[in-house]
Structure 1
Amino acid sequence: MRGREQGEEREPRRGRPRSEAAERAIIEAVVRLLEEGEPLAGLSIERIARTAGVGKATIYRRWRDKEELFVDVLRDIEPPEPALSGTSGLADILIILETLRRRGLAQRDSTLLHSVLSQMKSHPKLWNAYHATVIEPRRVAMRAAVRRAVAAGELRDDIDVELMTELITSPMLVRTIHRRDAPLEDDLSERIVRTLLEGLRPRETATDAVGGTES
């Protein structure tokens, strides 16, 4: 399946037969129904099974409930998760930021993806499942990358890791979630990291360096 977290493996379910063809048919059935205008709340396991040409038991052998199935469907239509080095902190930070940027572009370009995400937020159980299995692992990956950058001397070691993580990701989240009209340029990830590393203070001039001008 697309969209699995780096290093994350889904815990195998007892008795679940591996049939990629059946799994693919079920996910494509859900996507087709959503594209036809069916709301998430109106999709039943019976309707999904009938559209996919499988029995309900085939679905329940793979997913415990609709929420778990819908999370996998969303993972499938989102951009895939990145492959992180696991060694270079700053390089992995850039990869994660770039993934957030591409996901923002995908939501702008895909009416289906935007619609599904919007509907999910009005279904607490589904949103909580998505948050726990998709969003939180991304945050864990970013915190781990920040720690690697600190350990390598690429970032300061006297600032809380959680705060640094939020400082790094917030500009991208603002543009992708809160300001949907904001530009998402190709070099945005690099500019965010470069600006944070350089800081926001004005650059020191030659006059500043020798103590300023006389009054």
Structure 2
Amino acid sequence: MTPEPQSERRSERARRAILDAVFELAVGKGYAKLTIEAIASRAGVGKPTIYRWWSCKGAVALDSLNERIGDGIAFPDTGDIAADLKTQLTAVTELLTGDVGRVFRGIIGEAQNDPELMETVRETVVDPRIRECRARLDSAVAAGQVRADLPTSVMVDLFYAPVYYRFLLGFDAAAVRRCPELVEEVLLGLRPRTPHM
């Protein structure tokens, strides 16, 4: 096995230090006070090192965030759509009401004026989870657990809109964590309809 070149090891150490620094600073001082200068100082690197890999603080923070999320909110498939939605939404709301949520809210705020960052947020955070949820709902449709006459993309909106509404508008953590309790209520309207006799 060929040993990893020393320069690559140094680059990976620098990258790791930057990703750790941005998250620690965003949580400790608040995202609004986060600067490239502060990240560079905390990580022990020069600003050009950061700009070699990322275009702005939001891009660095998003990479750090994605590493921390990982598979932590993967969608389960036990065969019970209600239980699976509650499990997944509980995992999402736990993340959003912790340090990850504090950083994510800052990134979303910055992305309102940065179309490139917003596109990256959608591509790396939002779209993969939408695809997972739609795949799970497609299975539920095939199993006759939910209606087949409504696009699963609409169903995804029905389950996740309350989460992001409460999260982004600053509702308290308890209100965000109660969102999984809405699953049964939403499913009442999504269960297959019984033909009238």
TM-score, with structure 2 as normaliser: 0.66
Q: Cα offset for 1:192?
A: 1.5
Partner of residue 182, structure 2: 192
Query: Partners in 1 of 2:164 and 2:29 — Cα distance?
Result: 30
Query: Partners in 1 of 2:25 and 2:93 — Cα distance?
Result: 28
Q: Secondary structure at the match of 2:144?
A: coil
Counterpart residue identity of residue 195, structure 1: E
1:72 aligns with 2:29: no
Q: Secondary structure at the match of 1:184?
A: helix
TM-score, with structure 1 as normaliser: 0.61
Give 5+ residue unaligned stretches, structure 1: 1-15, 201-215
Q: How does 1:99-114 map to 2 (within 5 A)?
A: 99-106=91-98, 110=102, 114=105
Is the contact between residue 175 and residue 183 of structure 1 (CA under 8 Å) also seen in structure 2? no
Is the contact between residue 97 and residue 176 of structure 2 (CA under 8 Å) also seen in structure 1? no
Instruction: Using the aligned pairs only, state the percent identity.
Output: 31
Give 5+ residue unaligned stretches, structure 2: 1-6, 191-197
Q: Residues 26-67 of structure 1: CA distance to partner in whole angstroms, max 9, x if unpaired?
A: 1122235544568588526xx745542346786578x46445
> What is the RMSD computed on CA atoms of the aligned residues?
3.9
Query: Partners in 1 of 2:100 and 2:61 — Cα distance?
Result: 20
Q: Residues 131-186 of structure 1: CA distance to partner in whole angstroms, max 9, x if unpaired?
A: 22111111111111111111122112222222222222223333223462584275
Q: How does 1:91-130 map to 2 (within 5 A)?
A: 91-106=83-98, 110=102, 114-130=105-121
Q: How does 1:2-21 map to 2 (within 5 A)?
A: 17=8, 21=13
Query: Partners in 2 of 1:187 and 1:70 — Cα distance?
Result: 27
Q: Residues 14-35 of structure 1: CA distance to partner in whole angstroms, max 9, x if unpaired?
A: xx94776443311122235544
Q: How does 1:112-191 map to 2 (within 5 A)?
A: 114-178=105-169, 180-181=171-172, 183-184=174-175, 188-189=179-180, 191=181
Is the contact between residue 49 and residue 56 of structure 1 (CA under 8 Å) also seen in structure 2? yes
Number of aligned positions between the proteins: 180
Q: Cα offset for 1:194?
A: 1.2
Which structure: larger Rg?
1
